[in-house]
Structure 1
Amino acid sequence: MYFGKTRQSDQSGRVPPNQNVTTSFPVLHTGDVPYYEDMTKWNLQVYGLVDHPMLLSFEDVKAFPRYESKNDIHCVTGWSRLDNVWQGVRACDIAEKAGVKEEAGYVILHAEEGWTTNLPLDDFLAETSLLAYAHNGEPLTPEHGFPLRGVFPHLYFWKSAKWLRGIQFTKENHPGFWERNGYHMRGDPWQNQRFTWD
């Protein structure tokens, strides 16, 4: 399914089934790329089943402890990119600050233009889960999600929503944009969970 120009085979056990390794960083999304000229107009809302709803500025986000994570990412379209280094805030630190209620079981990530994706709470809280504002030591580019994107490397990369604007904790699992259009509700690349019927 992946039509990129650079492919490499990898036999190290790091690449899930039916994936091709690339050294490029393909750009895939729906809608327009947002460009933020005035970051004072950007915020991140954390709400839903939490004790302490938050409306965070970009500076508020960057005030959380900075975390760095090196991992591989796997796109549902068939490419994998190895050894990415992300800098940002651990998702579990955001959840802890908000005080997630016991009845919460899922997370809905809200991005620009009404785009959403859903995650089980355990996936959001995983040790490798990050809200990233930098990649390989450089601020994210607009095409790759500036100012803030999710990074959930144990799931297919569409779950790592770009241009985040909201994190909603819910009791029930509500399908996001691609999930309503046939993609798998969880998206584990090692289980080849690409589509609803997988």
Structure 2
Amino acid sequence: MKRQHEDLAGRVPPHQNVVTGWPVLHYGEVPVYRDVRKEWNFRIFGLIEEGEKVLSYDEFMALPRVVRTNDIHCVTGWSKLDNTWEGVPVTEVVKLVTVKPEAKAVMIHAEHGWTTNLLLDDFLREDNLFAIKHNGQDLTPEHGWPVRLVVPHLYFWKSAKWVRGIEFLPEDKPGFWERNGYHMRGDPWREQRYAWD
């Protein structure tokens, strides 16, 4: 019989501890919506031929959805395995616009001015989605309701909560945590936690 740590080989990056709960970590206040249908929308802008595209809450929620299961890894040292997400694939959202060839990165914009950056290749991976549900339940406000990005191959701070838009950029530039010392990419397998790693 295999021991638990042998079963997890290849699934848990170095210096991570598996948890069964889901810790709540974020900077600032949890957004409050009185009427999410009127107050929330989703912008796609930057290096796209259309200049800017804005989706209403109802338009975004009507986009095709998928269900995907993956593991997530927080820069603070915890990993949560076998998460099942329902949401809109990143690739479905990007189909709505024509991205200019000079785009090399994106900035994800979220509530309260929060941002995180991703290289375009990292952003467009098939596993990535804009999650609406986790393990069959709507996301809670503390975990990013109504929409959070899920980028499972990078540390979880790249999976921005409370997402409001995508900006296509000609080059990578730091978002909120990256300006405050976190690594520009955040690969958990390479332990890219901080700017000096």
TM-score, with normalisation over the residues of structure 2? 0.94
Deviation at 1:10, TM superposition (A): 3.5
Q: What corresponds to 2:29 in structure 1? A: 32
- Which AA in structure 2 matches 1:46? I
SS in 1 for 2:71: strand
SS in 2 for 1:127: coil
Within-5 A mapping of 1:1-198:
10-11=5-6, 12=8, 13-39=10-36, 40-52=38-50, 53-198=52-197
Give the Cα separation in 2 of the matches to 1:87 and 1:58.
16
Number of aligned residue pairs:
190
Structure 1 residues 143 and 10: CA distance shift in structure 2, 3 A = farther
- Which AA in structure 2 matches 1:174? K
SS in 2 for 1:98: coil
Where in structure 2 are there 5+ consecutive unaligned residues? Answer: none
Give the Cα separation in 2 of the matches to 1:97 and 1:120.
19
Q: Any runs of at least 4 consecutive aligned residues in structure 1 with deviations exceeding 6 A, and if so which?
A: none
Deviation at 1:67, TM superposition (A): 1.0
Where in structure 1 are there 5+ consecutive unaligned residues? Answer: 1-8
Give the Cα separation in 2 of the matches to 1:17 and 1:158.
17
Q: Does the 8 A contact of 1:182 with 1:195 survive in 2?
A: yes
TM-score, with normalisation over the residues of structure 1? 0.93
Give the Cα separation in 2 of the matches to 1:185 and 1:96.
26
SS in 2 for 1:153: coil
Give the Cα separation in 2 of the matches to 1:129 and 1:97.
16
Alignment deviations for residues 79-106 of structure 1 (CA, whole Å, 9 cap, x no partner): 0000000111111111121111111000
Give the Cα separation in 2 of the matches to 1:149 and 1:181.
21
Deviation at 1:127, TM superposition (A): 0.8
Alignment deviations for residues 104-153 of structure 1 (CA, whole Å, 9 cap, x no partner): 00010011111110000011100111111111111110000000100000
Give the Cα separation in 2 of the matches to 1:36 and 1:70.
28
